[in-house]
Amino acid sequence: MTDRVNSVVNSGRIPEVPRCHSRGFSQWNENFTSSDHPSIVQILIDSNKQKAVDIDGNALPTLVYMAREKKPQKQHHFKAGSLNALIRVSSVISNSPIIMNVDCDMYSNNSESIRDALCFFLDEEQGQDIGFVQYPQNFENVVHNDIYGHPINVVNELDHPCLDGWGGMCYYGTGCFHRREALCGRIYSQEYKEDWTRVAGRTEDANELEEMGRSLVTCTYEHNTIWGIEKGVRYGCPLEDVTTGLQIQCRGWRSVYYNPKRKGFLGMTPTSLGQILVLYKRWTEGFLQISLSRYSPFLLGHGKIKLGLQMGYSVCGFWAVNSFPTLYYVTIPSLCFLNGISLFPEKTSPWFIPFAYVMVAAYSCSLAESLQCGDSAVEWWNAQRMWLIRRITSYLLATIDTFRRILGISESGFNLTVKVTDLQALERYKKGMMEFGSFSAMFVILTTVALLNLACMVLGISRVLLQEGPGGLETLFLQAVLCVLIVAINSPVYEALFLRRDKGSLPASVARVSICFVLPLCILSICK
């Protein structure tokens, strides 16, 4: 690229080939912006031409550049609208029966991924009803003992294969191979047979195809059509990919989950806590909106997909409501411990055993699964921390926003995930330091809970030892253990509050707001 730019500067003119490649922008002028411009379709490499070869003489596939028309007053439906535009343009240029979907921040890591996916579709005995083949999401920038505890291995090796066993993995939105007919609304039937010889009629030349393509991606093309409703990727939900996959399965198609040893696709995951929490808020809000709408797996999928698959979807669908019991368990028992109020059975009570068994069994099983999938004990501990953080921040705000939307107080939005990370922040991530850096309502909630439990632990233990002696902990043992565990799991928060002075530490404004919430509760307990 540098050599080409220097060549143009030195010669004072643009060579014919680059000029040809940029002719699609001939309509562009200074008044157009990224949100206001006409449709652009240009065939950069035409596989029908003999010149479409690489430096070794190997034939190259057709390569098309497309930018759909955008107008400020017209709804463009974000990623879903882009995918539907690509589906239509590809139908007149190649009309391939299989469509591959990969996000802009991911790349192919396995040269055999396309062949492997096609093997499923081409299976004459079991491949006719496959609607899409989904590869798992994997990330190249996740470090060992990741501070954010991304549960990639457990999810990819245990959770998703279970869904696949019930007849369908959900559609991720990336790393997926779709059957065009299934994606475009066809209902599966026993008589259906894929025509693998079907291709687009290429009697037109490239200019005519480009003109046809431009007409398919205008702002008004989808008006009064079933695009985004019954055809293509669905509109109207932050998780358009999940509803699209569910609709495909409800039309009789099944999906396949394929997780080879060499990862098919790799991407970049956010490396700051704020980005991660925003991402999970969008996912959780989208799942809850689906579960409370007519597209709920139990309503849309009734009699169409297996009950086990409906329940599998709903595990994610009701993530958000976990926020309320979790918020209760990280606040009320600690406040009661500070005030000397017992909520759980004493160690000597027979009822102590069920409480202890549930806690030990649940976390032992979780740890065993994590170790079985190749994670370390530190990664498991970090994952438990992130589950707690997500539940009291992302999940809580997602639930509130969902019900605000249902009541008509606010409209559903679309939060884009930041793809660029500061180099200093990346270095801190590699050192196992959580990245905060800015004021956020989520950080206020997290810091308030952390400071509340720290105060309850210190003041509560001091009160018991001074007033009742060590024996006073007998009746409050489980609450004391819970409070200590919450303090231990929030150690990165205390580090960012009290010890760190870098740009990724918690701002003083977050600490001040949190103290304003915690201080009155502690004063009331001490002065009662």
- Could you tell me which residues are annotated as the binding site for Mn(2+)? 79, 103
Beta carbons of 80 and 140 less than 8 angstroms apart: no
Compute the distance between CA of residue 230 and CA of residue 186 in angstroms, rounded to an integer: 9
Quick one: tokens of 239? 């998780």
Name residue 134's beta-bridge partners.
Answer: 176, 257
Classify residue 470 as exposed, middle or buried by CB count within 10 Å of its CB (0-12, 13-18, 19+). Answer: exposed
**Beta strand pairing status for 63-67 and 106-108?**
unpaired
- Those residues whose C-beta lies under 8 Å from the C-beta of residue 297, and which sit 6 or more positions away, are 246, 290, 291, 305, 309, 310, 311, 313, 314, 317
Give the whole-angstrom CA distance, residue 481 versus residue 309.
37
The binding site comprises 79, 103
Which 3 state secondary structure label does DSSP give 454? helix
Which residues lie below 8 Å from residue 516, measured CB to CB, with a gap of 6+? none
Dist. CA 323–CA 403, nearest whole Å: 14
DSSP letter for 157, please: I
Q: What is the DSSP secondary structure assignment for residue 36, as one 8-state letter? A: B
Would you say 77 and 235 are in contact if contact means Cβ atoms under 8 Å apart?
A: yes
Q: Is the dihedral of CA 497, 500, 506, 507 positive or negative?
A: positive
Residue 309 · residue 301 · CB < 8 Å: yes
Rounded to an integer, what distance in angstroms lies between the CA atom of residue 132 and that of residue 171?
8
What phi and psi values does residue 37 have, to the nearest 5 degrees? -160, 160
Q: Between β-strands 106-108 and 254-257, what pairing exists: parallel, antiparallel or unpaired?
A: unpaired
DSSP-assigned beta bridge partners for residue 255: 132
Cα 177 to Cα 133: distance, rounded to the nearest angstrom: 5
Q: Identify each DSSP E strand in 28-102 by its residue range.
A: 40-45, 63-67, 98-101
* Alpha carbon distance 147, 5 (integer Å): 42
Q: Find out whether 66 and 40 touch, Cβ atoms under 8 Å.
A: yes
CA distance 450 to 487: 7
Distance CA 241, CA 103 (A): 12
Strand partners, 176: 101, 134
| Residue 126 in tokens | 């079991």
